[in-house]
Amino acid sequence: MALLGNAAVAMWWNVAPEARSEFEDWHSHEHMPERLRIPGFLRGTRWTSPSGEGDYFVIYELAEYETLTSKHYLDRLNNPTPWSTMMMPQHRNMTRSQCRVICSHGGGAARTLLTLRFSPVPGQANRLKERLSRDVLPALAARAGLIGAHLLQTQTPTGQAATAEQKIRGGDAVADWILLAGGYDSKAVAALLDDELEEQTLARHGACHERIAGIYRLSFSLTNKDLPSTSARCDSRPPSIGRFVSQPATRQLPKAADGKKGARGSRTMQEPLSRAQLRVLGLLNRGLTNQEIAKELEIGVGTIRWHLNNIFGKLQVRNRTEAIVRARELSLV
């Protein structure tokens, strides 16, 4: 697909098996929508390694390079949510590059993506950039089995201090040049490593021999236009992935038989439950203990307690029994 905007944040990391389910839930339903609400963020896409070893590639496409130093973005980086604070340490072997888009060719959503991290030989940057931008990438985007090819160059904003999120993760590595090639035919994408993007071929164009290549498949994508307007209502259950609504929802309780509201009818939900919280609530309604819920969802008991505290707060209740009663009144379970 053609990249949107003139800048991007490109990231690679690995997540341990026991944390992947909750990680993808958090990343899909809280973190990526949060990022896409930042002015200048146009699209976010997550890719996963087909090997099943927990390797991820994520790219955020930005309208302008200046978005990287905007107050809105830095405020989010330095004020992670409680769930983000829990999930940041799960990003293992993190590489995060803030980039300018040098060129972008093609269009449409790719099924498979090749990422290539490399550097130019000293003194050969302009020759390499011209060769890739003018000849190699436009031809790749038009080839059968492929639909897009792009070149990014890391340019970390000058004087940018480590953010709160980076400190939680423990520091990030940085790539230099990044080449992305996507397509609908996974074999055609993989074949590039033995053809136009083969190491010796790139070296003849002016690239260093050292490179890091990865093949990924599409997992999740969201644009800022997918997010609901501030007037949108949230149903009692989350809609499909990519259309998650996180704006406050107001839902009145049923009226009592005498036509007046019930004892708690004056209270309404001012913040919807996340998909993860709804899953926990459903298991709670079945009578499962914290330990049984944790085993069912393959996450820690501490995480379950954290979810329950948030559920109690959103439902305005004090304990599990009240939460179940309240959830049934609101048709959440």
Q: What is the CATH number of the domain that holds 290?
A: 1.10.10.10
Does the structure show a pLDDT above 90 at 62?
yes
- Residue 1: predicted pLDDT: 63
> Is 248 part of a structural domain of the chain?
yes
Q: Which residue, of 168, 195, 224, is where some domain finishes?
A: 224
Same domain, 258 and 202: no
Q: Answer yes or no: do 306 and 186 share one domain.
A: no
Same domain, 198 and 282: no
All residues at 6 or more sequence positions from 124 whose CB lies less than 8 Å from its CB, including other chains: 206, 207
The answer on 151 and 240 residing in a single domain is no
Do 190 and 246 belong together in one domain? no
pLDDT number for residue 228:
72
Per-residue confidence band for 250, with pLDDT thresholds at 50, 70 and 90: very low
Cα-Cα end-to-end distance for the chain: 39
Same domain, residue pair 324 and 212:
no
Look at residue 312 and tell me whether its pLDDT is greater than 50: yes
Domain total of the chain: 2
What is the 3-state secondary structure of 106-138?
A: ECCCCCEEEEEEEEECCCCHHHHHHHHHHHHHH
Q: Is residue 70, in this structure, part of any structural domain at all?
A: yes
Exposure letters 36-63 (e unless 16+ CB within 10 A, then b): bebebbbbbbbbbbeeeebbbbbbbbbe
For 195, other C-beta atoms within 10 Å of its C-beta total 11
Domain end position, chosen among 224, 242, 268: 224
Please, which pLDDT band fits residue 298 given cuts at 50, 70 and 90?
A: confident
CATH value at residue 94: 3.30.70.100
Residue with more model confidence, 194 or 233: 194
Residue 186 covered by a domain: yes
Residue 245 has pLDDT above 80, yes or no: no
Q: Is 143 a residue whose pLDDT tops 60?
A: yes
Return the sign of the alpha-carbon dihedral for residues 56, 61, 66, 69.
negative
Is residue 20 domain-shared with residue 41, that is, in the same domain? Answer: yes
Note whether 70 and 195 are same-domain residues: yes
- Cα–Cα distance between 273 and 184 in angstroms, integer? 36
- 244 belongs to a structural domain: yes
284 falls within a domain? yes
Question: What span, in angstroms and rounded, lies between the C-alpha atoms of 316 and 310?
Answer: 10
2 assigned to some structural domain: no
Residues 294 and 150 in one domain: no
Same domain, 235 and 219: no
Specify whether 29 is located in the same domain as 121: yes
Query: Is 183 in the same domain as 291?
Result: no
pLDDT at 66 over 50: yes
- Average of pLDDT values for 326-333? 89
Asked if residue 1 belongs to a domain, the reply is no
Domain boundary among 224, 245, 278: 224
Distance separating alpha carbons of residues 273 and 29, to the nearest angstrom: 11
pLDDT in tens, 146-195: 999 999 999 999 887 888 998 888 878 999 999 999 999 999 999 999 99
Q: Indicate if the pLDDT at residue 317 is higher than 60.
A: yes
CA–CA distance, 49 with 55 (Å, rounded to integer): 5
Reported as a pLDDT band with limits 50, 70 and 90, residue 320 is: confident
Residue 6: pLDDT over 80: yes
Asked whether residue 238 carries a pLDDT value surpassing 50, the answer given is no
Query: Is the predicted pLDDT of residue 201 greater than 50, yes or no?
Result: yes
Structure tokens at 224: 């800022």
Helices (H), 192-249: 199-205
* 64 has a pLDDT exceeding 70: yes
Residue 87 included in any domain: yes
H helices present in the chain, as ranges? 20-26, 32-36, 71-78, 82-87, 125-131, 137-141, 164-169, 186-191, 199-205, 275-285, 290-297, 301-315, 320-329
pLDDT of residue 229: 56
Q: In which domain, by residue range, is 77 found?
A: 7-224
d(CA 264, CA 252): 10
**Can you spell out the DSSP letters for 62-93?**
ES-GGGGG-HHHHHHHHS--HHHHHHGGG-EE
